[in-house]
A and B are shown apart, each in its own frame.
Chain A
Amino acid sequence: MEFVFFVEVLAGGLLAGVMYALVALGFVLIYKASGVFNFAQGAMVFFAALTFVSLTEAGWNFWLALVVTLAAMVLLGIATERVVLRPLVNQAPITLFMATIGLTFVLEGLSQMIWGSQPHGLELGVPDVPMEWLSQRWNVNISQFDLFAALVAGVLVAVLALFFQKTRIGRALRAVADDHQAALAVGIPLQHIWAIVWAVAGFVALVAGLMWGVRNGVQYALTFVALKALPVLILGGFESILGAIVGGLIIGATEKLAEVYLGPFVGGGIESWFAYVVALVFLLFRPEGLFGEKIIDRV
């Protein structure tokens, strides 16, 4: 019984971690290509989910709404590149980071102004209920939707990997990530690449927004979920897609386990900060993350 419970908590945590990883992926994509730490990823998740759910509630067809939302995210990516990033090129990373904090506020205000601020429910046809055969046979409760989310994340990572490895744009992206100047020298248009990366990050944000929307409803609190992606990134390393996944799993699992096994001793609710403290401790010992490149200069 104890063990079954442990497995259940662990599985729940790992699957929640998949959801964190979905958000973290968007950060990694942008960081790899442009060295910008995009604080606005959470706002993009919120914006995408809210746009999608508002369109479907207005009676639009699922696919039509999806395509329109995707188009909006792509436009947003291009606009961000043009308005925010291009004038700030060559600025210190910390300046760009603060600019994305500004972008966060713009996006949050914009999405709530257009679509209103009331929370919405979201259904994708996969109910968020424990799978029966698992609970009957092993007495383990694992949500069907969590597995679906894991599957989606897997597919997404596979698609991204293919995109990065096999397509012309993907190769250009990797070149830019490797060395901006060398990429420019061989004729890769940097600005297009950045716009594309932001658009792809918008796509990832849309997927993450849909998954989180089903789980928690589409509401303002989604932007806080995105903050949880930060410790994930620290654990996994900023430059690694694999790191985002593994970091997400570790954070999700430790957070849930800590909440269940440590929480009662200290009064509960430690989920809100445990991930950050794990990241903090981690930073002290391995600042580059599990899979990150070791480039942090010590001072």
Chain B
Amino acid sequence: MLYREAGQFKSTYAQDQQIFPILQDRVAIAILLAVAFLLVPAFGNQYWLGAILTPFLIFSLAALGLNILTGYAGQLSLGTAAFMAVGAFMTYNFVLRIPGIPILAAFVLAGLCAAAVGIVFGLPSVRIKGFYLAVATLAAQFFVLWVLQRVGWFSNYSTSGVITAQEIAILGYRFDTPAKKYLLTLAVVAAMALLAKNLMRSETGRAFMAVRDMDVAASVVGIPMMKTKLLAFAISSFYAGVAGALHAFTYLGTVEPEAYSLDLSFRILFMVIIGGVGSILGSFLGAGFIILFPIFLNLASGWVSGLFGVEISFAVVSNLEVIIFGGLIIFFLIAEPHGLARLWQIAKEKLRLWPFPH
């Protein structure tokens, strides 16, 4: 960065181990949070708040969940969307069936339900890994959606299988405008991101990384394999479940099981790969990229047709988007396996010495 940590001495362990050891970083994060909490809702318009920033935060949370499982614990999952669906539908049912339940409690309970489902489908991970596990999580993807579609109880016997999220109220305060929903989402996501960041610096997180890097060695040094892997599945699914609940309640409002298709699971996996495998920041960067890129592409196609007078059809743009996403995945895996987060880190290291790199 343009600043250096020179002169900032740490005299206690607590100071040495804080999340942001450099004063300027703490200031930057505080400013970022202040902008996100105060300025954005005050000045952002309906479209930005409701259609871009809220889904960005929600998908960041889902990507964060998958990143804990895939990036930190090294277990590939193709069923993230299914866990989101569990979170969305269970929140709906908790609010519906337990009168007066606080919405945040419903989110947590729904997240715990998703975690339970995650543990069940994570069980094979105790014996298998790699793409075998990917197939096992595919089973979760298809099975969960089928259950949600077929068992009427989950959608309160609505004929179309569509659920409409109830209105959100905390202590009588109603979250009914995009700005308020954005704030609620932001608060939940910020709290959970902080939790994840700390969790990954703790014994649990280290155990995850040990399992990822070499499971045999990890079990030799006494890390309980089964507990660690299942815990990774549980935490990851919990995050995905809460993300799904937010997705239904603060973003879409009405959802159907089909919304949580395999395609969504892949999109979240792409966010993790592009953003940075094994990085909390990366989850946010990846989600931002995947959300903003199609919008950018649409704008760019408008500019191109304006410049050259060639009309680019919607089909071409959407296919192009798919091709570019796929190409980017391959590119990132080859050129920068740690994604945008790593690029950010490199930029920071370069800037730290700038403008005198010697």
Q: Do A and B bind each other?
A: yes
Which residues of A are interface residues toward B (Cβ below 8 A)?
37, 83-84, 87-88, 91, 93-95, 97-99, 101-110, 112-113, 116-117, 227, 230-231, 233-234, 266-270, 272-273, 276-277, 279-280, 283-284, 287, 296-299
Q: Are A97 and B76 in contact (CB under 8 A)?
A: yes
8 Å CB contact of B138 from A91, A230, A284: A230
Indicate if the CB atoms of A99 and B316 lie closer than 8 Å: no
A98 near B130 with CB under 8 A, answer no
Complex: A57 Cα to B356 Cα, angstroms: 64
B134 x A280 contact (CB < 8 A): no
Number of interface residues of B (CB under 8 A): 47
10 A-B pairs with the lowest CB-CB distances in the bound complex, closest first: A105-B326, A102-B329, A109-B322, A276-B139, A106-B326, A109-B323, A273-B142, A113-B319, A267-B150, A102-B330
| Nearest-Cβ distance from residue A1 to partner chain B, whole angstroms | 29
- Measured CA separation A231–B74 after assembly (Å): 22
- Contact with A287, one of B128, B319, B329 (Cβ below 8 angstroms): B128
Q: Does B327 contact A (CB under 8 A)?
A: yes
Identity of the chain A residue whose Cβ is nearest the Cβ of B127 in the assembled complex: A287
Q: A97-B134, A106-B330, A284-B127 are in contact. List 10 more A-B contacts (CB 8 A).
A: A98-B269, A99-B330, A101-B266, A101-B326, A105-B329, A108-B322, A234-B132, A280-B124, A283-B136, A299-B129
Cβ of B135 < 8 Å from any Cβ of A? yes
> Contacts A102-B327, A266-B150, A284-B123 known; A227 to B138 CB distance under 8 Å?
yes
Minimum CB–CB distance for B266 against chain A, Å: 7
Identify A104's interface contact among B76, B225, B326, CB under 8 A.
Answer: B326
Candidate in A84, A231, A233, A267 with the most chain B CB atoms within 10 angstroms = A267
Tell me the B residues contacting A by CB distance below 8 Å: 74, 76, 121, 123-124, 126-132, 134-136, 138-139, 142-143, 146, 149-151, 215-216, 219, 225, 262, 266, 269, 273, 315-316, 319-323, 325-330, 333-334, 337
Interface of B is mostly: helix
Is the beta-carbon distance between B132 and A283 smaller than 8 angstroms?
yes
CA distance in complex: A25, B316 (Å): 32
Instruction: Given A84-B330, A109-B326, check contact A296 B128 (CB 8 Å).
Output: yes
Q: Do B132 and A287 touch (CB < 8 A)?
A: yes
Nearest CB of B to A44, in Å: 13
Q: Which residues of B contact A234 (CB under 8 A)?
A: 132, 135
Shortest C-beta distance, A109 to chain B (Å), equals: 3
Asked if B131 and A270 sit within 8 Å, CB to CB, the answer is: no
Contacts of A269 in B (CB 8 A): 146, 149-150
Give B212 Cβ to nearest chain A Cβ, in Å: 10
Residues from chain B with Cβ under 8 Å of A266 in the complex: 150
Q: Nearest-CB distance from A298 to chain B (Å)? A: 6
Q: Contacts A101-B329, A103-B326, A269-B150 given; indicate if A296 touches B139 (C-beta within 8 A).
A: no
How many Å lie between the Cα of A161 and that of B315 in the bound state? 42
Q: How far is the CB of A48 from chain B (nearest CB, A)?
A: 18
Please name 8 pairs of A and B residues whose Cβ atoms are closer than 8 Å in the assembled complex, sorted by A. A88-B333, A93-B130, A99-B330, A113-B319, A276-B135, A283-B124, A284-B123, A296-B128
A236 CB to closest chain B CB (Å) equals: 13
List the B side residues contacting A283 at CB < 8 Å: 124, 127-128, 132, 135-136
Interface centre among A101, A107, A230, A268 (most CB of B within 10 A): A101
Q: Within the complex, what minimum Cβ distance (angstroms) separates B192 from chain A?
A: 25
Residues of B within 8 A of A108 (CB): 322, 326
Interchain CB contact under 8 A, B143 and A276: yes
Measured between alpha carbons, how far is A280 from B134 in the docked complex, in Å?
A: 11
Please indicate the chain A residues that have their CB under 8 angstroms from the CB of B326 in the complex. Answer: 101-109
Q: How far is the CB of A107 from chain B (nearest CB, A)?
A: 8
Task: Give the residues in chain A near B330, CB-CB below 8 Å.
Answer: 83-84, 99, 102-103, 106
A95 and B146 in contact (CB under 8 A), knowing A105-B325, A112-B319?
no
Distance of A95 Cα from B219 Cα, bound (Å):
23
A63 → chain B closest CB, angstroms: 30
* Residues of chain B within 8 A of A231, CB atoms compared: 135
Considering only CB atoms, which chain B residue lies closest to A86 in the complex?
B334
Q: Are the C-beta atoms of A298 and B127 separated by less than 8 Å?
A: yes
